[in-house]
Structure 1
Amino acid sequence: MSLSDWAENYPALLSGLWVSIRVTALALGIGMPLGLLLALSANSPKKVLRYVTIGVVEIGRGTPALVVLQIVYFGLPTVDVTFSSFFSAAIALALTTAAYTSEILRGGLQAVPSGEVEAASALGMVNRDTLRFIVIPQGVRVAIPPLMGFAVLIFQASSLAYTIALPELMSQAYSTGSSTFRYMSILSLAGLMYAAITIPASWLTGRAERRMARHL
């Protein structure tokens, strides 16, 4: 490993890191609201909606993110829908996020004390208002620590986007390594860049869990 290699190739890898952060942010911004919608549907009193939602979630959880990525990027053009590599990666990771976070959020919603729901009903609140003002705010709050942990995993999974030529961090590292033949040095720098994001994020997740445990 050479510091001169790091100094020379740092700008290219930094631009790749920025792409990784952007695609992760977009995937989470789309996927988590979808996950909440799936969580609410999975708790629906309507059996058909509940079973269909559970089936969709299980398929989404059982399909590897890499396969979803390939389907979105290479499969959708067969139905005359074409996305750039950036939006393909964001959509694929958003679908994976929705499937996994729906279970996290459903657990959070079910953790809301039933007594509060009964009290809201006794006060004459309709189900929609009970969900909006009582169940969802508290359920999401309970789910925040595991959601933060999952966000770290999605950031790491963004490295899969190198398979569709998205110039994210891992793609830039491979490209630079193939042109300089200094794979160990370049990949080590890429690993440090990933760690610079994931280690503080994991620390924040642990701190959020401890704070939540005190309040609960």
Structure 2
Amino acid sequence: MNDFSWLYTWPQYIPQLLPGLWVAILMTVIACVGGYILGFFLALLVESPSRIVHHVAIIIVELGRGVPILVLLYVFYQGLPQLGILLDPGPAAIAGLMFSAAGYSSEMIRAGLNAVPKGQIEAADSLSLRTIDRYRFIVIPQAARISIPPLVNLTIIIFQATSLATVITVPEIMQHADVIGSVTFQYMSVYVAAGVLYLCITIPGAILSGSLEKRMNGRPTSGRRTVRALIPGVREPQSV
């Protein structure tokens, strides 16, 4: 006879899984912050006029996008020791997630950078802005409106991928669920509780992504006025 007790017993396992949730969130934050910073520089290197730099950056990006995260976790945790590099499970998992996040985010960021109208760059040059100021005041603010929504979605995916870290014994949600299930044999209840915890993060994240996309896509992104308005100390010319 089927046992449907899990329908009302799963909430009791939530408190026992919460420590794993905090670990998963911490891993996600570190991996995404580091990965997106690396992804930004990879996006710039892919556009480098140097063919060597361009191809090296492309290889790194394609490795991050093409190699499954599970394989990356094994490479960083069990492969690197053969090269004399030893990483604990937590840092190894973060490194694998960060490498994957860098690969995917670089293409998202590059798409945002390339979407900035060429006229904006020409207007910045006409104002004699330094390269760093051009990116700071003109390119990045406009590219962010395009890149941020997909980056939020990628953050959700990275959070879900933290569940793979259980294979290298990182004490995240699934690791706790496996331990509890092996003791209580209430696998259905435990895994339903784990699923609810993931949903508590992913559903608000999806709503946030949709809201950001609508809000950012509703702002103008072109025109000389936008360029001048983005630069502190540069005032708009008054119409006659």
Tell me if both proteins adopt one fold, taking TM over 0.5 as the criterion. Answer: yes
Letter paired with 2:11: W
Whether 1:6 aligns to 2:11 is: yes
> Could you list the per-position Cα deviations for residues 62-86 of structure 1 after superposition, in whole angstroms to 9, with x for gaps in the alignment?
1001000100011111122212111
Deviation (angstroms), 1:136:
2.2
- Calculate the TM-score normalised by the size of structure 1: 0.95
CA contact (8 A) 2:145 2:217 kept: no
Larger gyration radius, structure 1 or structure 2: 2
Deviation (angstroms), 1:5:
5.3
CA contact (8 A) 2:35 2:101 kept: yes
Alignment of structure 1 residues 1-216 onto 2, 5 Å: 1=6, 3-4=8-9, 6-7=11-12, 9-216=13-220
Look up the SS of the partner of 1:81 in the other structure. coil
**Cα distance between partner residues in 2 of 1:193 and 1:106:** 33
- Calculate the TM-score normalised by the size of structure 2: 0.85
**Cα distance between partner residues in 1 of 2:136 and 2:211:** 27
**Cα distance between partner residues in 2 of 1:33 and 1:145:** 16
**Cα distance between partner residues in 2 of 1:165 and 1:155:** 17
Deviates more, 1:98-107 or 1:22-31: 22-31
Deviates more, 1:121-130 or 1:52-61: 121-130
**Cα distance between partner residues in 1 of 2:63 and 2:57:** 10
Letter paired with 1:102: S
Structure 1: gaps (5+ residues): none
**Cα distance between partner residues in 1 of 2:153 and 2:7:** 33
Structure 2: gaps (5+ residues): 1-5, 221-240
CA contact (8 A) 2:76 2:96 kept: yes
Deviation (angstroms), 1:127:
3.0
**Cα distance between partner residues in 1 of 2:140 and 2:55:** 21
Alignment: residue pair count: 215
Alpha-carbon RMSD across the aligned residues, in angstroms, is 1.4
Look up the SS of the partner of 1:124 in the other structure. coil
Deviation (angstroms), 1:4:
4.5
Q: Give structure 1 regions of 4+ aligned residues with deviation exceeding 6 angstroms.
A: none
> Could you list the per-position Cα deviations for residues 14-55 of structure 1 after superposition, in whole angstroms to 9, with x for gaps in the alignment?
111111111111101110100000001111122221122112
**Cα distance between partner residues in 2 of 1:5 and 1:100:** 35
